[in-house]
Chain A
Amino acid sequence: MPEFLNQVTLAIADFDTELLEIPNFEKLDESDQVAAITAYFENELLPSLGSWDIRVTTKEIIVRWSEPQPVGGLAESALDSVNSGDVRTGALLLRLAIAGGDRSISTRLNLGMVLSDLGELKEAITILKEVVAEASDNANAWVAYGVAHKRNGSGEKAVKALRNALSMEDGNPYALKNLGAVLC
């Protein structure tokens, strides 16, 4: 039995079933849903983690693995996925990183931005609201928060957030561009 140095528990509700590429996934019974999620982890994610062990239930996904990929490395892998266009996998890796204890501003900001890109605006706004509360001098966080509000149709909140971004960083091009788009 290998020694597992890392463990992450992810709520099943936080798993993006779009990753499975199974239309009508919700029509499968629970045991088949669990089998599909297990297969996804076993075939797509876990092979890069060294020795691993996975347990999927109807409530949670528990992944344990040995080095070489530490929890901290998941956020980096997430950015690789996002940069290669695989945004959904990036979101999952960021969730795993956070579930594994990575509470850094950058990881949560990246998850908020990725969820915003995926249209998961309610959750994105919740995460980004926390981020700007903790890092109120982070112009990029305010931009991301403003963009999420813009996408959600909340023009006033978007304007306020984007103006906050400009007050932190005068001339921030993303803030200016999005502010222009909201005001015009």
Chain B
Amino acid sequence: MNLPASIKKIISEVEDTSGLPLVVRDDRSLKTLATVSIARGQALFHTLTYRPDAVGVNYVIAFQLGFIIRNLRCPVESRFDVVSEPIHFEKAVVELGLQQFPSALAKQLVDSLIIQLRSISVGDRVDQWIIEECPEFEDEQKASVKSQLKVNQQALSPDIRKMFPGKILNANLSMNAAYAKIWSSRLNDARYGLAYKAAGYGDRADKLVSCWEQISKAPECDQDLIKGWAKLLSLVPYFTFNQQSANA
């Protein structure tokens, strides 16, 4: 796919700031919309892989690049990964009620929850950056977010809800509720947020949104944002922050 100039400009910022090349490739078999990997250790380049048939594909790419830029705008000592190590996983299995699940599935559920914790909380900072600095992606951003909101909303169905332990489900739906609430306002469509309010997640969404508003938007405060959300979601014991090694 031929990337538009506005995407190439963001890629240049990533490459110039980090001093390392960024390899972009499409992959129709990707299970998520896009993934990004920041160069570190022996890796000599960053990689971004995206699904070319994703709704709002340029926004999807910009969103992933936004995470790298946000990371690079932090002082080196403030760059971190959010990881769930074996000790956290063992605790999560017991405390989140995952004993009845096969270990691989339980691990996937915990990892997904921790990824979601970062991708939604910090992701909204990236979305704000796109709104403010990349307005050319506005239509694609709205289309992609609407599509994501509809996918997220499927988890409200009783059939899906009874498949997962309550604590996992509550954390997942609370984060989705906050995302829906903030985008309800931006899209001027109350239905998205109200779907979660009707399911009993209105107060939790309000608290998470309030956390977004109270913590500084500076990239170096992202750790505080994640901590704030984790506290509200009772996820503090299940992950840690690891400082990133060079190169990035």
Interface, chain A (partner B; CB < 8 A): 20-25, 27-28, 32, 35-36, 38-40, 42-43
Contacts of A27 in B (CB 8 A): 198, 200
Interface residues of B in 150-171 (CB under 8 A from A): 153, 156-158
Give bound CA distance, A5 to B145, whole Å. Answer: 35
In the complex, which residues 186-213 of chain B have their Cβ closer than 8 Å to any Cβ of chain A? 187-191, 194-195, 197-200
State in angstroms the CA–CA spacing of A157 and B19 once bound together. Answer: 80
Q: A21-B153, A23-B157 are in contact. Are A42 and B198 (CB under 8 A)?
A: no
Q: Of B187, B197, B198, which is in contact with the most chain A CB atoms at under 10 Å from its CB? A: B198
B197 touches A42 (CB 8 A): no
With A21-B153, A23-B157 already in contact, the answer to whether A35 and B194 are too (CB < 8 A) is yes
Docked CA distance A28–B193 (Å)? 11
Can you give 12 contacting A-B residue pairs, CB < 8 Å?
Answer: A21-B191, A21-B195, A22-B198, A23-B158, A23-B195, A27-B200, A32-B194, A32-B198, A35-B190, A35-B194, A38-B190, A39-B191
- On whether the beta carbons of B199 and A24 are closer than 8 Å, the reply is yes
The chain B residue sitting closest to A23, CB to CB, is B156
Residues of chain B contacted by A24 (CB below 8 angstroms): 198-199
The answer to whether B191 and A36 have CB atoms under 8 Å apart is: yes
Inter-chain contact B197/A40, CB cutoff 8 Å: no
Q: By DSSP majority rule, is chain A's interface helix, strand, loop, or mixed? A: helix
Q: Tell whether, in the assembled complex, residue A22 and residue B189 are in contact, meaning their CB atoms are under 8 Å apart.
A: no
Q: How far is the CB of A72 from chain B (nearest CB, A)?
A: 29
Decide if B156 touches A42 in the complex (CB within 8 Å).
Answer: no
Q: Which of B187, B189, B190, B199 contacts A23 (CB 8 A)?
A: B199
Min distance, Cβ B184 to any Cβ of chain A, angstroms: 8
Q: How far is the CA of A20 from the CA of B157 in the complex (A)?
A: 14
Complex CA distance for A28 and B202, rounded to whole angstroms: 10
Let me know if A22 and B191 touch, CB within 8 A.
Answer: yes
- Report the minimal beta-carbon distance from B185 to chain A, rounded to whole angstroms: 11
Inter-subunit contact B194/A42 (CB<8 Å): no
User: Which residues on the A side are within 8 Å of B199 (C-beta)?
Assistant: 23-24
B195–A39 touching, CB < 8 Å:
no
Given contacts A36-B190, A42-B189, whether A25 and B153 have CB atoms under 8 Å apart is no
Chain B positions within 8 Å of A23 at CB level: 156-158, 195, 198-199
Residue of B nearest to A35 (CB): B190
- Inter-chain contacts of A36 with B (CB < 8 A): 190-191, 194
Q: How far is the CB of B200 from chain A (nearest CB, A)?
A: 8
Cβ of A86 to closest chain B Cβ, rounded Å: 15
Which A-chain residue is minimally distant from B158 (CB atoms)?
A: A23
Distance of A129 Cα from B157 Cα, bound (Å) = 37
Of A27, A38, A39, which is in contact with the most chain B CB atoms at under 10 Å from its CB? A39
Structural contact, B188 and A22, CB atoms closer than 8 A: no
CB of B145 to closest CB in A, whole Å: 13
User: In the complex, what distance in Å separates the CA atom of A24 from the CA atom of B157?
Assistant: 10
| Complex Cα gap A27–B159 (Å) | 19
Smallest CB–CB gap between A32 and chain B, Å?
Answer: 5
Residues in A neighbouring B197, C-beta threshold 8 A: 28, 32
CA separation between A76 and B195, bound complex, in Å? Answer: 31
Cα separation A21 to B191 with both chains bound (whole Å)? 8
Q: Give 1 or 0 for each of B126-170: 1 = CB within 8 Å of chain A CB.
A: 000000000000000000000000000100111000000000000
Give A39 to B195 CA distance when docked, in angstroms. 12
A39 close to B190 (CB less than 8 A): yes
Pairwise interchain contact A20-B191, C-beta atoms closer than 8 A: yes
B188: chain A residues at CB < 8 Å are 39, 42-43
Q: Which residue of B lies closest to A32 (CB)?
A: B194
Chain A neighbourhood of B156, CB < 8 A: 23
Q: Which of A38, A40, A43 has the most CB of B within 10 A?
A: A43
The interface residues of chain A lying within 8 Å CB-to-CB of B189 are 39, 42-43
Whether A28 and B194, one on each chain, are in contact in the complex, defined by CB atoms closer than 8 angstroms, is yes
- Contact partners of B190 in chain A: CB under 8 A: 32, 35-36, 38-39
Q: Which residues of A contact B158 (CB under 8 A)?
A: 23
- Most chain A CB within 10 A, of B158, B188, B190, is at B190
